[in-house]
Structures are given as structure tokens and as C-alpha cells.
Amino acid sequence: MNDNQLAPECRNSIFAIGAGLNSEKNLVNLLDEVQIKICGMLEAEAASVFLYNREEACMEFLSVTGEVRERIISIKVPMQSIAGEAFLKGEGMIVNHPEGSSSHFKKTDQASGFVTRNLLVFPLKTEKPIGVIEIVNRINGEFSQGDLDILEIFSKMISFKIVNEYNRLRIIQEMKGIIESVSNAIDLRDQYTHQHSKNVSDLSVKIGKELGLNEEQLHELEIAALLHDIGKIGVKDGVLLKPSRLSSQEFALIQQHPKIGRTILEKTSVISQSMLRGIAEHHEKLDGSGYPQGLKGPEIHLFGRIIAVADIFDALISKRVYKKAIQLQEVFGILDSMSPHQLDENIVKCLKKIAPPFETVNP
């Protein structure tokens, strides 16, 4: 169906709902919202998105609207079903009397107590089929060809969103693997800081969860913390690995590593400004006594404040060649003495909630 054949108000509604698919919200939550809007437009009671499970040769729920979600989300729908038939044929279907169809899969109705009176189904596909979208129970009357034409338009939008999101997640995982390799290489350069970046990253994410950060923020925080010491690449071995006390000139060189880290990464498109600031500001202090910029209070990005606490905690609690691991309560005492004038007091409190329940770490 050509979009231009639609009534202007219908076309505007479709575009408005489609625009919502550009949101960066969690995919399932986003699909739930979009399906509710589609149901409103098509005057239907419920909707579901299924993905094809190639290994088990069945359809699985990705998103379900309504109160029945928890009762049916884990049900595997066989290919000998209306959803499976639409997927295999690659065609949309109007089924106004499912009770008379041998393909009607009754288990979901039985599990939910929901009665399917009629439904629309349309395949989700880009280069290849990936699943189906199903709209259930027109509130007044039966579904029409016009309803199916509208669902076809939405199926294309949803298909591209799902494929793009899964491709994005795949790229993120690949990127994360590369970043973890880089952070390990940084830590291995300094024999005293093995696993330090991974420890700081894990702690930072746990603190972020306590603070209520969303999924995207937690991902960015994880990457920033993994790379927080990447600027040490630009510090000479003679300074970075010096076993004795650093001179003031040598310490000044060490203090440049957050700035160097930002310079290394700032032209990388996958590294956001929040990540860059977390890397560049993890040695700043709320009272302005930190480095390299001497930022104060709210001038320091939240990521920088979180990574600062996690960084100091791991450095204190971990055993090094040049020092013993410090007892947990003593570490907390040091962090308490630094907050709220140097460290964010709320972040220190969050750390105490999630800190490992044993006396020392990395013995």
C-alpha cells in the first residue's frame, strides 16, 4: 500500500508513532509503548511482537501489551500456529474467526484467560524474516484489509528498529571486548595495577545502579571506567614504573594522564562526551585540589565523581608489591575523611552498600 493513499490524519498518526521508534529507550519497553499506540489507532485490545527462534524452530514473545504479559511471555509458540504461518508464508493475515482455524494456538489464551476473537498478523522482515507482529481483538466489529495495510507500514518500521538495535548491541559487545583488551594491556604495563581497570569499572557500574542511572548511562559509565587510565600510555616507563618516590616534576607528568586519555579518545565517534569527561575528570576533587584542571563541585561530571571513588577504593583495598592491602573499615575511614570536601558523599555511601563483604580484596 502506498502511504499517499492514506487519509492525512491517519498518515500523520503513523508518522507520529513511527517517530517514537527513534527513542533510545530499552527496546522491549519502546515496543510496548508503540504497540499500545497501534492498538489505539486500530481500536484493538492487545498486541504482541514475536521473534523467530531458529534453533528451536518456534516463535518467542519479545513484547506483549497488557496485564497478561507475565503469564504468557515465556510460552514458545509452534510454527503450526497463525503467527508461525504468517512468518513462513511471508504474508499478512486477517483472521476474524480463529476458533475455526486449525492453526489457532490456544495455549496462550488458556494461560492468560484472554479470549482471542479476531486478529491481524504481519511478518517482520528486512533482508530476511525475523518475526511477526500480531494485533488482537478489534473492539468493534472485525479487522479489515485497511487495518492490515496500516499494520504493514508499522511492521516495516518495527522490523528496521529491531534489526538496528540488535546490530547496535552486537557492535557494542564487540567494542566492549576490544576495550577490555586495551584496558588489560594498560594494567599489564604496570605490574602493580593488574585488573585495576576492570575492578574500577565493575564498582562504578554497581554505584551507578545504586544512583538509579539508566541502561545507556550504565553502559557509558562502564566503558569510561574501563578506559579511565588509558592516558598512562603517554607516560614514560621511567616515570610510570619508577619504584622509588617521584619527584615533583615526575608527578606533574603523571597528573597529565587524564588529559592525555581525553586527547587519545576525543575524535572517536563511539566515545560520548560523558565518557570523555569521566576519563578526563576522575582525579578532580570537589574542593578544587584535584588534577589536571582543578575543577570544583558541580563542575565535575557525575562519571568523574563515581570513577574517582571507585578508583581510590580499589587502589587502597588491593595488595601491591609496595604495600599491603588495607582493611575494609580503614578504607571506609579514609573515604569518609575525604568526603564531602573532596569526594561526593552520596557516592561514598553507595560504595559502602555494594562493597565486597570481606576484609580485603585482591590479597
CA distance linking residue 330 with residue 20, whole number of Å: 50
Closest CA to 316 of 302, 330, 305: 330
- The vertex-156 CA angle with 153 and 157, nearest 5°, equals 90
Q: Are residues 153 and 235 in the same domain?
A: no
Contact 96, 77 (CB under 8 A): no
Instruction: Out of 134, 166, 198, pick the residue that ends a domain.
Output: 166
Q: Which has the higher per-residue pLDDT, 22 or 200?
A: 200
Q: What is the pLDDT of residue 360?
A: 41
Instruction: Out of 98, 132, 166, pick the residue that ends a domain.
Output: 166
Buried b (16+ CB within 10 A) or exposed e, 267-304: eeeebbebbbbbbbbbbbbbeeebbbeebeeeebbbbb
What is the pLDDT averaged over residues 99-116?
88
Q: Are residues 196 and 159 in the same domain?
A: no
Residue 64 DSSP symbol: E
Q: Are residues 226 and 134 in the same domain?
A: no
Q: Which residues contact 298 (CB under 8 A, 6 or more apart)?
A: none
Q: Are residues 194 and 162 in the same domain?
A: no
Q: Are residues 162 and 226 in the same domain?
A: no
CA distance linking residue 161 with residue 131, whole number of Å: 13
Is 83 part of any domain? yes
Q: In this structure, is the dihedral angle defined by the CA atoms of residues 175, 176, 178 and 182, taken in order, positive or negative? A: positive
Is 171 part of any domain? no
CA distance linking residue 230 with residue 341, whole number of Å: 27
Is 119 part of any domain? yes
Q: Are residues 260 and 329 in the same domain?
A: yes
Question: In the chain, what percentage of residues exceed pLDDT 70?
Answer: 91
Is 277 part of any domain? yes
Q: CATH number, domain at 217?
A: 1.10.3210.10
Q: Which three cell numbers stand for residue 252?
A: 606533574
CA distance linking residue 189 with residue 62, whole number of Å: 44
* Residue in the block written with cell 492514506: 6
Neighbours of 148 (CB within 10 A): 20
CA distance linking residue 190 with residue 358, whole number of Å: 26
Q: Are residues 22 and 151 in the same domain?
A: yes
Domain that includes residue 70, residue range: 3-166
CA distance linking residue 20 with residue 159, whole number of Å: 14
Q: Are residues 210 and 159 in the same domain?
A: no
Answer yes or no: is pLDDT of 7 > 70. Answer: no
Closest CA to 225 of 140, 312, 325, 161: 312
Q: Are residues 261 and 320 in the same domain?
A: yes
Number of folded domains that form the chain:
2
Q: Give the global pTM.
A: 0.63
Please, which residues bridge with residue 49 across strands? 63, 133
Contact 111, 83 (CB under 8 A): no
From the list 125, 161, 206, 232, the catalytic residue is 232
Contact 254, 245 (CB under 8 A): no
Q: What is the pLDDT of residue 363?
A: 41
Least confidently predicted of 7-11, 119-123, 177-181, 250-254: 7-11
Q: What is the pLDDT of residue 93?
A: 95
pLDDT in tens, 45-96: 999 999 999 999 999 999 998 778 888 999 999 999 999 999 999 999 999 9
- Long-range residue pairs from 345-350, CB within 8 A, at least 24 positions apart, any chain: 346/211, 347/207, 347/211, 347/305, 347/306, 347/309, 348/309, 350/207, 350/210, 350/211
Least confidently predicted of 50-59, 76-85, 98-107, 139-148: 98-107
Is 177 part of any domain? no
Q: Are residues 129 and 206 in the same domain?
A: no
Q: Are residues 124 and 212 in the same domain?
A: no
Is 179 part of any domain? no
Is 103 part of any domain? yes
Is 309 part of any domain? yes
Q: Are residues 101 and 231 in the same domain?
A: no
Q: Is 232 known to be catalytic?
A: yes
